[in-house]
Structure 1
Amino acid sequence: MMKKWLSIVGIGEDGLQGLSAIARSLIDQAEVIVGGDRHLAMLHTNDQREKLTWVSPISASVEEIIRRRNQPICVLASGDPMCFGIGVTLTRQIPISEITIIPAPSAFSLACARLGWSLTEVETLSLCGRPPSVLQSYIYPKAKLLILSEGKNTPAIVAEILTKRGYGDSEIAVLERMGGTQERIVAGTATSWNATELADLNAIAVNCIADAGVVPLPRLPGLPDDAYHHDGQLTKREVRAITLAALAPIPGQLLWDVGAGCGSISIEWMRTHPRCGAIAIEQNSSRLHYIAENATTLGTPNLQIIADKAPHALKDLPTPDAIFIGGGVTAEGLFDICWEALRPGGRLVANVVTVEGEQTLFQWHQQVGGNLTRIAIQRAEPIGKFLGWRAMAPVTQWIAIKG
């Protein structure tokens, strides 16, 4: 069994003097010290040991660490290295059996202590190196959000997103340099936020308050149709909810959305949990624009979009846990490629509205079984002074689970 050669030590704003004896010993015993400029500056000016500063892309620094395997190395990190920190990145490539991790209190724990919030009742996210629109899917009335900030400009970006979303009365607190002698809290509301003299090292707390008349967007599938920009190629709300139920997303799973249209299925798949991923495959250029716009607006900017035609576009993609085919079911070879790519136990769901599409689904059903369902929806709409039922185009849905 390989010895523990890598240590990851979390440091608070109080610096090295705030570390435990064990943490200090790990730093002292290391031959190589890794960290950002701020962390390395905490070391004694006469420290002659080898220093590695993080570079971009960070994978290059990780490779440098791995290249020195078995040499005592200590990585200096901020707060808890396993809370949106470098520890997560390193443990993906180095076995935990070779690593010692000593965390300091996370920014989230410190913020809750300052605000009197329960850490188990808040939503936590990071905007460090991530699109700010990730925030969109976390906003709902009375939500308490704790956000790791990328810098002093992030609070203003958060305030703008909240205001445009109809949550301008939301209370914002920016917590600077928590745990240090220069700790400070700057408070205000989203709509009136104008603080500019802020520290780069900060966390943001938000108490979400909806403006009067704002209709919250649920996380459950079946968002209103008008939540999307589209050209008519949209899986309607009721059918979308049924389809997502059939796809049965589980945290950490990956979806292929083939013939994605405006991206509604893959977006709502990802909204069910932050760890759900999706790849939207679409060939129409205007619809590709709609997918990107909708993903940003609805809080799933990490949706991967492929501008190509299936089944050619499906080659060499990561193995999916579920596949939805919303368009192009009659494309030659599509089923064989999808079924082969799908992991065992995965789900394939296809929706069609044409007779030719139904014939294709029936052939697929004959090959591998599954369930065929006809979905017929009627909506009440005005007919003169009265209401009448207007039928939507019936949808035939096929669901198969790969054995």
Structure 2
Amino acid sequence: MGRVTARVSSPLPVPGGAAVTVVGVDAAARPAYPGLADVLADAGLVVGAARHLAAAPVPPGCPTVTLGPLEPAVRRLAAAVAASTPAVVLASGDPGFFGIVRRLRAAGLPVRVRPAVSSVAAAFARAGLPWDAAAVVSAHGRDLRPALNACRALPAVAVLTAPGAGAAEIGAGLAGWTRRLVVAEHLGTPDERITWTTPAEAAATTWADPHVVLSLARADADPGRGRRADNQPAAPPAEGWALPESAYAHRASMITKVEVRALVVARLRPRLGRLVWDVGAGSGSVGIECALLGAAVIAVEREPDAPIRANAARHGVDVRVVAGAAPAALDGLPDPDAVFVGGGGTAVLAAAAARRPSRVVATLAALDRVAPAVHLLRDAGYAVEGSQLAAARLADLPGGSLRLAATNPVVVLTGEAPSTWGNP
């Protein structure tokens, strides 16, 4: 059998062979990058943070740009590429990992990358932990809430932080969740410090920037235990969702039926980075399936013997359970992105809408409650749509015949807020 050769064309051809060489600097290595002197020897422009430029063997007389705002540096690099001038960018760790490579490619610049160890890999290494089962998120230059919700949802998360979105803020946001945190400050420098702490202690501490936060759910701090067989910690569950009622322990059939649950979960739009409330959770099936799809979940249930925790453990997800009757039990909870109201009437629905989630989904069996619920959501500014689900399931009859067995009709209401209230 002959050899098959695949030819791959670069989407960014290099004019005249000119490209921007992006070099990752590992401050812990000596020298910081073994081939850095050779890379810089022919450079006609060097771009980097002040600390990198000060430590690098930049040739005398070579023009440099100290990184602050990125736009001026990108313009200088584009001019260098157009003039076929060799340009070098110095960056921390792996510049293709939440780094400057994405921004340079977005500007249409051809790049060659020589990476070093990323800050996330270094943080796990300093903590002596494997990280093949961890998710990595960034709060640098973006809203902290999605990163915080990832820490609430998943057993092992690394967070790239920024001033005002660091270990103290993450620790404060994890109140109510059982987590251990590792804070890695000034990685690879003489001031490096690795601290194991609790969320409460992290919230009360002032941390030096830059730092990386590792959020770990397990008491033994091993993020690899219990990991998914497909090595995809934030991917949709391999076994699917809208699972049969038999997949959950429940009391006297008090569970959202699979046909209804499929629509409810679709309307809630759970995903990594979002926080979902499951109010009147019962068995917890709706919240658990949202957690299976990557969302952080708070289940509110007034019955102390409800099997939510056992069901969550059975499906390998972390659901925070708040015992108490809504709406009072909702006070003090972090703001949700979506809310499912499975019970409690209009008072609970009003309390949920008052927190301004992007979506509110409610199930109602009694028709006399539908109109008040619709008007309540509309008055709160939501666009409301609804449908009645009346499923009939196949059932066996003697002699091999089949019949249809009706389930109780349920009205599903969805209130969608203007996009300015939250993510879609």
Q: TM-score of the superposition, structure 2-length normalised?
A: 0.50
The residue correspondences of 1:85-234 to structure 2 (distance < 5 A) are 85-94=99-108, 98-140=110-152, 143-151=155-163, 154-163=166-175, 166-167=176-177, 169-193=178-202, 196-208=205-217
Segments of structure 2 that go 5 or more residues without pairing to the other structure are 1-12, 220-234, 243-256, 273-288, 296-334, 341-357, 359-373, 375-383, 393-406, 414-424
What corresponds to 2:89 in structure 1? 75
Q: Is 1:27–2:35 an aligned residue pair?
A: no
Structure 1 residues 201, 189: CA separation in 2 closer, same or farther (over 3 Å shift)? same
Over residues 104-156 of structure 1, what are the superposed CA-to-partner deviations in whole Å (9 max), with x where a residue is unaligned?
10011112222232221111111111211112431357701211121486110
Structure 2 equivalent of residue 392 of structure 1 = 410
What SS is found at the alignment partner of 1:18?
A: coil
CA deviation string 1:360-396 (max 9, x = no partner): xxxxxxxxxxxxxx73379xxxxxxxxxx8743379x
1:27 is aligned with what amino acid?
L
| 1:119 aligned counterpart, secondary structure | coil
Kindly provide the amino acid, as one letter, of the partner of residue 162 in structure 1: L
Give the whole-Å Cα distance in 1 for the aligned partners of 2:105 and 2:167.
30
Q: CA–CA distance in 1 between the matches of 2:86 and 2:339?
A: 46
**SS of the residue aligned with 1:191?**
helix
Give 1:48 shift: 2.8
Once residues 128 and 219 of structure 1 are traced to their aligned partners in structure 2, the CA distance between those partners, rounded to angstroms, is 26
* Deviation per residue, 1:20-47 (Å, 9 max, x gap): 22x3311232111111222223246984
What is the aligned length?
A: 257
Please report the RMSD computed on the Cα atoms of aligned residues, expressed in angstroms: 4.5
- Alpha-carbon distance in structure 2 between the residues aligned to 1:250 and 1:202: 26
Among 53, 58, 61, the residue aligned to 1:48: 61
Structure-1 separation of matches of 2:189 and 2:78: 33
Give the match for residue 308 of structure 1: none
Partners of 2:390 and 2:180 lie apart in 1 by 45
Q: Distance in 1 between matches of 2:206 and 2:271?
A: 42
Q: Which amino acid aligns with 2:116?
A: A
Deviations along 1:305-335, one digit per CA (max 9) or x if unpaired, are 9xxxxxxxxxxxxxxxxxxxxx9xxxxxxxx
Q: Runs of 5+ in structure 1 lacking a partner?
A: 211-217, 223-235, 252-267, 275-292, 299-304, 306-326, 328-350, 355-373, 379-388, 396-403
Equivalents in 2 of 1:113, 1:48: separation in Å? Answer: 39
CA contact (8 A) 1:9 1:74 kept: yes
- Report SS of the residue matched to 2:132: helix
Find the counterpart in structure 1 of residue 20 from structure 2: 6
Per-residue CA shift, 1:60-88, capped at 9, x if unaligned? 43233213212111011110001100012
The amino acid across from 2:145 in the alignment is S
Would the alpha carbon gap of residues 7 and 393 (structure 1) be closer, same or farther in structure 2, given more than 3 Å must change? same
Q: Is the 8 A contact 1:152 1:196 kept in 2?
A: no
Letter of the structure 2 residue corresponding to residue 392 of structure 1 = V
Report the Cα distance in structure 2 between the residues aligned to 1:103 and 1:17, rounded to whole angstroms: 14
Q: For the structure 1 residues 92 and 79, does the alpha-carbon distance in structure 2 shift closer, same or farther, using more than 3 Å as the test?
A: same
Preserved contact between residue 137 and residue 219 of structure 1 (Cα < 8 Å): no
In the alignment, is the contact (CA less than 8 A) between 2:126 and 2:194 conserved in 1? no
Look up the match of 1:242. Answer: 263
Q: Give the structure 1 partner of residue 305 of structure 2.
A: none
Deviation at 1:6, TM superposition (A): 0.9
How big is the shift at 1:100?
1.6
Match of 1:64 among 76, 84, 95: 76
Question: Does the 8 Å contact 2:21/2:113 carry over to 1?
Answer: yes
SS of 1:109's partner is helix
Change (3 A) 1:394 1:8: closer
Shift of 1:196: 3.6
What fraction of aligned residue pairs are identical, expressed as a percent? 23
Pick which of 125-134 and 135-144 moved more.
Answer: 135-144
Q: Which has the larger radius of gyration?
A: 2
Going from structure 1 to structure 2, the CA distance change for 1:296 and 1:241 (only over 3 Å counts) comes to: closer
